[in-house]
Amino acid sequence: MKLIGYFRSSAAFRVRIALNLKGIAVEHASRHLRRGEQSSADYAAINPQKLVPALVLDDGQVLTQSLAILEYLEETHPEPAILPKDPVARARVRALSLIVSADIHPIQNLRVMAYLRQKFGQTEESAFTWSRHWIETGFDAYEATLKQGGAGTYSHGDRPTMADLCLVPQVFNAARFKVDMQRYPLIGRIHEACMKLPAFDAAQPSKQPDAEP
């Protein structure tokens, strides 16, 4: 299989963690998002959304959307599991994952930031303020959900789940946008626990072949 991503992409980061956790070896390829390489005709033929990641399977079929890819990896490589077996627990993990992947990430990613600047004349500072607001709004909800119960060493119990795969890349983004993480002690503790695991550490942006300062 081949994973097409970008070192700083949160969505690609999620998939890299899952691949590492499950011990799945893939070829890595990169599309430089800031240079617009994802908009080229050859990549649009692979992923019409012109986003990363895309997972190219051995038979040439292409999977897109990081959560769909995570679900595929879980179904085809069930151990170690990133979703609990209990239906209520699975729903909780998916809900935490969606706080990040559906409610935070899409409205503060690179193309949204670029649109704010290009079409609405926002400055770099005001665009950063926009992003920081939506990260904080989502983290407020995530932290409150953790306080309601279910969290252990990780977001759900004492083994990493899909929720942690979504949370950790967003914490990396939060640092870029200068979010005050002191507001989120549970998120901070879980992030620290995750980054002690080799699968998470090896997936971080700075350790990717296409990493830049």
CATH of the domain at 196: 1.20.1050.10
Q: How far apart are alpha carbons 170 and 186 in whole angstroms?
A: 14
Do 3 and 70 form a contact (C-beta atoms < 8 A)?
no
What local confidence, expressed as pLDDT, does residue 213 receive? 83
Backbone angles phi, psi at 210, to 5 degrees: -95, 15
Q: Which long-range contacts (CB under 8 A, 24 or more apart) does 150-153 make?
A: 150/89, 150/92, 151/186, 151/190, 153/190, 153/193
Give me 90's structure tokens: 């699975």
Q: Which of 80, 111, 132 is the last residue of a domain?
A: 80
Domain encompassing residue 162: 87-200
| Tally of domains in the chain | 2
Residue with tokens 């559906």, as numbered in its chain: 102
CA 3 to chain centre: 14
| pLDDT tens digits, 119-142 | 999 999 999 999 999 999 999 999
Query: Residue 132: its pLDDT value, please?
Result: 96
- Do 146 and 104 share a domain, yes or no? yes
Contact 137, 183 (CB under 8 A): no
Residue 144 lies in a domain: yes
Which pLDDT score is estimated for 91? 98
pTM above 0.75, yes or no: yes
